[in-house]
Amino acid sequence: MSPPLGTSPSVTELESRISAVGTRLRTSVLQVLDALGVSGQGPQGIAKELGLDKVLMSRLLKATRSLDPIAVAHHAPGPEPLRRFYRAARRRGAGSDLIATGEQVVNDFHMLIREEFGDRSTLDAMLSSWLPQARQEFELRRKQSAFKAMSQLKGVSARLEFGTVLLHPASDGDRIDIVWIVGMFGIQRCRPGAQIKLATRRQTAREGHREPTTLDGRSVSDLDGLRLDRFCHDSPAELQVKQVGETVHYLLAGEGVGKKSVFDLLFAEVNLAEIPRHPAPGRRGYVFAEVSTPSQRLLFDVLVHEDVYRGVTPELLIYDTAFDGVVDVNDPAREIDRLDIVETLQQLGSGLQQLRAPDVPQHLELLRHVFDSMQWNPDDFRSYRSAIDYPLYGSQVVVAFDPN
């Protein structure tokens, strides 16, 4: 039953109404298929029998295989394809009572969508919050659509945005050395003049000006020491470096456009004694990757020395930076910017062999080069990975350690 006009139904009421429609729809479709004598056939056979397309029948059968009525509503075709099914079943001789019952269910389904959600996409957004597997599929499709739109609006895209951060005890015993390996693979401009920018930042207060260096100790403005061109797959991109306060901007130069001008960008940045080894009480240590270019995939690895954040299991947090910019995880006011999306942080163990990444050319060789340059032992590091398909442009992906 629908709520009285002028009132907004509760989530419980919506769930009850959707469940009722899903239950009735599943029962009706199964009864019609049984009456036609095709209930044991696959989608292709039934589609041929009824003169319908295979995609419609495949989706309809998937809905009927679901015992959860919410899942039935999620997998079911829209009202108009459902009406085509019942018209075809009528032509093939299904009883008029069965068809009338089915058509009434479809009308109720249509009214539910129109009255409570406006369109099918909004209904699917609600259903995905109740169905974990459906939610992953829903989010992936919407993120893919967002990637396509933003890459066209920004005029640039990347196949992979890549960040690896190494955390190692500093020589003073009180702070942490941080090494960033940063890159993008398969960079492509689709519009002349489109800007591509990466940045590294200091988010914790500290005396003195930030002075990041290359692996061999030179200023990051020395591009020869900064770049890691030999680990690129496509042509290395031209690069400019600009430091503004505590932020270093890495800007892609050049004018290449189109699918014949695909570039890779890869560099390493060293920050010695960068952040406190032991956060103040009530505060968390954290590192993060910013999705600053529309990308098909983000690979974010965090490698932590065994003496850093010992015994602490990190947490993956994802924030929307559109309103207030880059997030300080220790600012309670930024909790409102947390994004409720389904992504995971995987623990990979220690050693380099656990870190293979098919998306990154010569990945293990790249890591060995960085560890050898720093004279660090990779077996002393435990590793965590967040791999996100179609990461949201403008989001901030955080790995946070709470030692308190």
Q: Is the pLDDT of residue 247 over 80?
A: no
More confident residue, 71 or 247: 71
Q: Is the pLDDT of residue 211 over 70?
A: yes
Assigned token pair, 71 = 């899942």
Cβ pair 248, 212 in contact under 8 A: yes
pLDDT tens track for 3-15: 555 567 788 888 8
pLDDT for 90? 94
Vertex 187: Cα angle to 184 and 191 (nearest 5):
140
Q: How far is residue 213's CA from residue 87's CA, in Å, rounded to a whole number?
A: 71
Confidence band (pLDDT; 50, 70, 90) for 369? very high
- Mean pLDDT over 328-339 rounds to 94
- Mean pLDDT over 173-199 rounds to 85
More confident residue, 198 or 299: 299
Q: Is the pLDDT of residue 236 over 90?
A: no
pLDDT for 258? 61
Amino acid sitting at position 204: T
pLDDT for 310? 92
Reported pTM: 0.73
Q: How far is residue 136's CA from residue 33's CA, in Å, rounded to a whole number?
A: 31
pLDDT for 129? 77
pLDDT for 242? 77
pLDDT for 257? 65
Q: Is the pLDDT of residue 208 over 70?
A: no
Confidence band (pLDDT; 50, 70, 90) for 207? low
pLDDT for 260? 66
* Rounded (10°) angle between helices 11-36 and 54-64: 120
Confidence band (pLDDT; 50, 70, 90) for 136? confident
For the chain, what percent of residues have pLDDT higher than 70? 93
Query: What is the end-to-end Cα distance of the chain in Å, rounded?
Result: 51
Confidence band (pLDDT; 50, 70, 90) for 181? very high
pLDDT for 46? 93
Closest Cα partner for 162 from 18, 22, 267? Answer: 267
